Amino acid sequence: MPALESTAGADRPATPIRVRRMRFRYDALPLERHYVHGDLVMSHVVAVLSGLFPEGEDFFVRSVRHYADQISDPVLSKAIAGFTGQEVSHGRQHRELNDRLQQMRYPTGRVDRRTRNGLARLERWSVPRYRLAVTAALEHYTATLAETLLTDPDARELLGDSEVRSVLLWHALEESEHKAVAFDTYRAVGGTERMRIAAMVITTFGFLGTVTWHTTLSMLADRASYHPVRLARSIAALRHSPFLTRSVMRRLRDYLRVGFHPGDHDNTVLLDEWVPRLFGEQGSLADRLA
């Protein structure tokens, strides 16, 4: 197949995608069972999401790299290389985090296995371009949640001061840096708006259903879930979650708009703030760089 030129996002400045090798201190995680500010439901939700990430990141990489040698645009090719490096690093770090969460009695191993099996079925039953559309859709989810974490102090407050917070801030920054790569690759290889939007609708049901199912199973195995007052308070707190606001929902739905591009939600100022805040000379994560 001939090399393809990319016109997606051609009028937008390229965001540098740097691959950072990290060393987190997972042994420093608190022994407190509910590590997300003591919140019952959110502790299980975050553990489930972390359990989904390693196999999910590997799937994203395979979906994008399938077309890498067909892209002739040097800017997009460089972005794909950066995307691949960042996602591989995310998967590696979340596997280590998941081992620690498993020790804390969260079912990250089971979530990982089920995710691997589910994605294997998707790869058997679908064409490469649809898998790339699914990747672009899920990247919109991760970028939206990531930028919510970086912009909303209440979202960061939920994570307290644990190493989980450090991992998620790093992950959020890099998701923001490469949020348009899968999308631009999809456009460059001739992906249609109809498939892109359909993939988002289907993926939304699958993603939310998967997270809800695994979170429910995880909570059923937690004795604290059977304390009615604590459970009720934690569920009630979800109504005020910074990740479930109307603005977040509007941004997620914006993906369904014909002509949408991730760059429509400009994050230049956000990255200019957070790159030095995390990795500058006095950055809070500078000592985690390998």
For 212-258, how does the pLDDT look when each residue is reduced to its tens digit (9 = 90+)?
999 999 999 999 999 999 999 999 998 889 999 999 999 999 999 99
Contact partners, residue 15, CB within 8 Å, separation at least 6: 177, 178, 180, 267, 268, 271
- 């910074």: which residue's tokens? 242
* Contacts (Cβ under 8 Å, ≥6 apart) of 232: none
Asked if residues 91 and 98 have their Cβ atoms less than 8 Å apart, the reply is no
pLDDT value of residue 162: 82
The pLDDT of residue 142 is above 50? yes
- How confident is residue 1, by pLDDT bands cut at 50, 70 and 90? very low
Angle at the Cα of 248 (from 234 to 53), degrees rounded to 5? 70
Provide the residue type at 150 as one letter. Answer: L
Q: In which residue are the tokens 């249609």 written? A: 192
Question: Residue 12: pLDDT above 80?
Answer: no
Determine the angle formed by the axes of helices 108-125 and 74-103, rounding to 10 degrees: 140
Q: Residues 29, 88, 242, CA angle at the centre, nearest 5°?
A: 55
Distance CA 118, CA 220 (A): 22
pLDDT at 8: 43
CA 182 to mean position of chain CA atoms: 13
Q: How many CB atoms lie within 10 A of CB 108?
A: 27
pLDDT in tens, 50-92: 999 999 999 999 999 999 999 999 999 999 999 999 999 999 9
Domains of the chain: residue spans and CATH? 31-261+270-276 (1.10.620)
Assign 3 a pLDDT band (cuts: 50, 70, 90): very low
Please give the average per-residue pLDDT across 141-158, as a whole number: 95
Q: What is the pLDDT of residue 14?
A: 58
Distance from C-alpha of 64 to C-alpha of 185, rounded to nearest angstrom:
7
Q: What is the pTM of this model?
A: 0.92
Cα–Cα distance measured from residue 212 to residue 167, given in angstroms and rounded to the nearest whole number? 23
Question: What's residue 15's pLDDT?
Answer: 65
Mean pLDDT computed over 3-10: 43
Residues ≥6 apart with Cβ < 8 Å to 140: 179, 183, 200, 252, 255, 262
